[in-house]
Amino acid sequence: MPEPLTQQDIDTKTDPTVARQWDTETPMEKQWEEFYGIVDKLKIGLLGTYRQGVGPVARSMAVAKRTGPDFLFLANNHSKKFSDLEKLKEVTVTFQNSSNQDWVSVTGEAVTTSNSDPRIKEVWTRSTAVWFGDLGDGVHNGKPEDPRMTLIEVRAKYISYWKAQVGALGFGKEIVQSMITGEVANTGALRQFEKSDIEQARARDSSMSS
């Protein structure tokens, strides 16, 4: 439900939306369960790198596999994202569900591997090949052995996400009420996982992280 803006919010320079939706009460196990539930439904994310002379650059990427808090992507090593990663390995992966506004932001380090990484064969699917093409030379065919086929592993260092706690109708009512009353909308739960949380989750939930 919407909550009033207070003078204390102003005096302490508090962002009222964050303060009202920040969730520190839900058990950590439940928070991880709901995080996995969100990202496993959203198969496409934006992988963001930093390009010298340009700044942050993002592109749409299909998740080949989520393994605990980490993400595996298959990519063509001829793409510019690899030259970005040679210079700076810190990346972001973001997801958003447009139907209910759930969103996820993962900050991590990207580890690229050689084509001999056995995980490539484990996560490759026939649909992967359509993004590579087949030259007809028996080598550059978009299959796991294609020398262009490379694995990018994003090892999470910090994760934040927001989960809707009202349906579409409730969301609309909340917004209208806030517009009328001047109160702060409160429609979901904002959560974060820091380094120690992520390391524990990796040890517990990962099967393919390096």
Q: Read off the pLDDT of each residue in 87-108 and give the average, rounded to a whole number.
A: 96
- The CATH number, out of the four listed (2.40.110.10, 3.40.50.1220, 3.40.50.880, 2.30.110.10), of the domain defined by the range 28-161+192-205: 2.30.110.10
| DSSP line for the chain | --B---HHHHHTT--HHHHHHB--SS-HHHHHHHHHHHHHH--EEEEEEEETTTEEEEEEEE-SEEETTEEEEEEETTSHHHHHHHH--EEEEEEE-TTT--EEEEEEEEEE--TT-THHHHH--GGGGGGT---SSSSSSSSTT-TTEEEEEEEEEEEEEEEE-S-HHHHHHHHHHHHHH-PBP--EEEEEE-HHHHHHHHHHH-SS--
Residue 110 clears pLDDT 90, i.e. is over it: yes
Which pLDDT score is estimated for 117? 96
User: CB atoms < 10 A from the CB of 171, how many?
Assistant: 17
Which pLDDT score is estimated for 178? 63
Q: Read off the pLDDT of each residue in 96-115 and give the average, rounded to a whole number.
A: 94
What is the spatial distance between Cα 196 and Cα 119, in angstroms, rounded to a whole number? 26
**pTM recorded for the entire structure:** 0.89
Q: Read off the pLDDT of each residue in 111-116 and give the average, rounded to a whole number.
A: 93
Q: What is the pLDDT of residues 76-96, one digit of tens each?
A: 999 999 999 999 999 999 999
Which pLDDT score is estimated for 8? 83
Which pLDDT score is estimated for 174? 57
Cα R_g (the chain), whole angstroms: 20
Which pLDDT score is estimated for 201? 97
Residue 152 clears pLDDT 80, i.e. is over it: yes
Q: Hey, where are the domains in the chain?
A: 28-161+192-205
Residue 108 clears pLDDT 70, i.e. is over it: yes
The separation between the first and the last C-alpha atoms of the chain, rounded to the nearest angstrom, is 43
Q: Read off the pLDDT of each residue in 131-152 and give the average, rounded to a whole number.
A: 97
Q: What is the pLDDT of residues 5-48, one digit of tens each?
A: 678 867 778 776 777 788 989 999 999 999 999 999 999 999 99
